[in-house]
Amino acid sequence: MSGSLERRYRRLLAVHPWAHRRVYEEEMLAVLMAGARPGQTRPGLADTVDLVGAGLRARLRVGARGFTEPAWADAAAVTGLLVALVLTAAAGKNVLDQILVDPSLPPPLRPPAPDPVDWLRLVGWAVVAVAAAVGLRRIATGVAWAGVAGWVVLVGPGAVEQPGYVVDTLPQFALAVVAAAALTVAAPPRRAVRVLGPRRLAALVAGTVSVVGLLELNRVTSPLFGGGEVSYESFYGLSAGSEPVMNLYLAGLAAAGLAVAVPVLRLTPAVRRRIVVLLAPVAALALVIDSALAGWTTSTVHLGHVIPLVGAQWAMLALVPPITFLAGVLLVRRREETQRMVALGRAADRERPAG
């Protein structure tokens, strides 16, 4: 009987981190067994709740300490600045789309002038990017969280009447949350600039500006349809009057993309892995929207009326990003722990005298 109770207590103690169990498991088990009733075969409810709760709290403390590592601080600083630049570029393109006339659209279909919210988004994320770059982390963090709150207040209520619009803006909202959370991580002033270096930071800025500029140039120079024949090339939303012009646009966008990607790819592997983990939730959310909700989106467009999302679909949209993030954290820790153990084994082999 005591063996069965001991095995069950060990299973509950397994909730605690290994480092804690290695030191205290036998002592804790002895106390638990000494307090058991004669003939008891299962842990009591109070002991179960206490052991599981204490184990989870210990794991949370260990996990929180892990995010204070320099690699996480570096990745968070770079990610916060990078995402702020991307959101500034997206807000800037939205404003330019409304200011610059698209010649392919007749006057009744042309968008109105930017409203105050459009300008506020642009200015707000530009302030976040500049503040993060010059070392004003608290200002950057506060404005970023204000942007998150603004989406919740202005867009969130449309989940019932305009679910399509809300779902379309969820990836940008997820990016805003990532930027705000990343900038919240404590880091020395101007950490992102020190990790990237001035040249790579300039490449990031130039790359994002170039992407917006090329997309806007392509939009305002789209071939006009006046009723006659027209030479026309299209590729994922881009349009051009000839194949060589289209190739020039694609080459320019590829160069701008490399200007953004190369500075990040040249960071240390530990920082690169953590940047991927921080951005993976946004990619996972976009993938879910494009795949799992593709039928819902198509039906909403063709039926011409609102099709509400069910609770399971909203739950999926809410849970996919945090689950993706936690899975990424676990994978990074397992990979680096494996690498550490391999390095220790190799060092031991080198120190072992030849037989």
Instruction: Count CB-CB contacts under 10 A for residue 104.
Output: 14
Per-residue confidence (pLDDT) for residue 177, from 0 to 100: 95
One domain for residues 25 and 77: no
One domain for residues 161 and 72: yes
| Tens digit of each residue's pLDDT (9 = 90 or more) over 320-331 | 999 999 898 888
260 domain-assigned: no
CA distance 180 to 142: 8
- Token output for 342: 């391999």
Select from 42, 64, 86 the last residue of a domain. Answer: 64
One domain for residues 146 and 286: yes
One domain for residues 109 and 25: no
Q: What is the mean pLDDT of residues 315-319?
A: 89
One domain for residues 39 and 76: no
CA distance 166 to 173: 9
Q: Which residue do the tokens 């506060």 mark?
A: 142
201 domain-assigned: no
Looking at the DSSP assignment, which residues form a beta bridge with residue 233? 240
Q: Which residue do the tokens 């202005």 mark?
A: 154
One domain for residues 47 and 98: no
Per-residue confidence (pLDDT) for residue 63, from 0 to 100: 58
One domain for residues 74 and 86: yes
One domain for residues 176 and 92: yes
9 domain-assigned: yes
CA distance 90 to 85: 9
| Tens digit of each residue's pLDDT (9 = 90 or more) over 86-95 | 999 999 999 9
Element (H, E) at 150: helix 137-154
220 domain-assigned: no
Candidates 245, 253, 265; CA nearest to 210 is: 253
Residue 38 structural domain: 2-64
Burial class (CB in 10 A: 0-12, 13-18, 19+), 198: exposed
Q: What is the mean pLDDT of residues 176-183?
A: 93
Domain count, the chain: 2
One domain for residues 313 and 187: yes
Select from 64, 82, 107 the last residue of a domain. Answer: 64
Q: What is the rounded average pLDDT for all residues in the chain?
A: 83
One domain for residues 72 and 51: no
282 domain-assigned: yes
- Token output for 30: 């002895």
Q: What is the mean pLDDT of residues 249-265?
A: 91
One domain for residues 41 and 159: no
Q: DSSP string spanning 14-66?
A: TTS-HHHHHHHHHHHHHHHHHTSPTT--S--HHHHHHHHHHHHHHHHHHHHHH
248 domain-assigned: no
37 domain-assigned: yes
At 172, the pLDDT band (50, 70, 90 cuts) reads: very high
| Tens digit of each residue's pLDDT (9 = 90 or more) over 195-221 | 888 898 899 999 999 999 999 888 888
One domain for residues 164 and 290: yes
At 226, the pLDDT band (50, 70, 90 cuts) reads: low
231 domain-assigned: no
At 301, the pLDDT band (50, 70, 90 cuts) reads: low
Select from 64, 81, 97 the last residue of a domain. Answer: 64
| Tens digit of each residue's pLDDT (9 = 90 or more) over 62-86 | 555 555 678 888 999 999 999 999 9
CB 143 within 8 A of CB 186: no
Share of the chain above pLDDT 90, in %: 29
List all residues 6 or more positions away from 202 whose beta carbon is below 8 Å from its beta carbon.
none
